[in-house]
Structure 1
Amino acid sequence: MSIEARKAHDLTVSETLVAEAEALGLDITGAAEQGIARAIKAEKERRWKIDNAEAIKASNDYVAKHGLPLAKYRMF
């Protein structure tokens, strides 16, 4: 297992959020990292959908016109 390099970075965060997180015993750094990771994932998915919209539409159009390939072998 490799250890990922870390980079210190200053973030400005709402005092209310920090106080509430501390009161709940949350790991603020870990929570921030998880939130950033979720935001990155969501943005990558959004961009992928935009980049592949034409292919997705073509696939959906094909299925609408011809049905699912190998549909006769479906067990459900």
Structure 2
Amino acid sequence: MARVVEATKRPTNLSLNAKVLDMARELGMNLSQTVDELLAAEVQRRYWARWNEDNREAIEHYNARIEREGLPLAAYRSFARGGG
């Protein structure tokens, strides 16, 4: 999912907790920007949660293969595995 930096804004109506809204205004918060940023973060979180669920079986098969066969090209690593 590409992160959208600039996008057209669209007006919408929201119903928000009155006390929270009053406090946000009292604190001088930009409500549109705050909601936009939080909504974008939640959309991204849910997108990747869905992607992981949709691809769970393939990921499990891949991980099992790596467990069985090791990492591809592991013999060509130029650094040692193990302790720090």
TM-score interval (norm. to shorter): 0.7 to 0.9
**Cα RMSD between the aligned structures?**
1.5
Query: Map of 1:1-76 to 2, 5 A cutoff?
Result: 4-74=7-77, 75-76=79-80
The structure with higher relative contact order (CA 8 Å, sep 6+) is: 2
Mark the runs of 5 or more structure 1 residues left unpaired by the alignment.
none
1:21-64 deviations in Å (ceiling 9; x for gaps): 22322111100111111111111101101111111011100011
Provide runs of 4+ in structure 1 moved above 3 Å. Answer: none
Unaligned 5+ runs, structure 2: 1-5
Kindly tell me the number of residue pairs found equivalent between the two proteins.
Answer: 74
State the shift of 1:17 in Å: 1.7
Q: Which range is displaced more, 11-20 or 28-37?
A: 11-20
Taking structure 2 as the reference length, the TM-score comes to 0.77
Give the Cα separation in 1 of the matches to 2:47 and 2:19.
Answer: 30
Identity of counterpart residues, as a percentage? Answer: 27
**TM-score computed with the length of structure 1 as normaliser:** 0.83
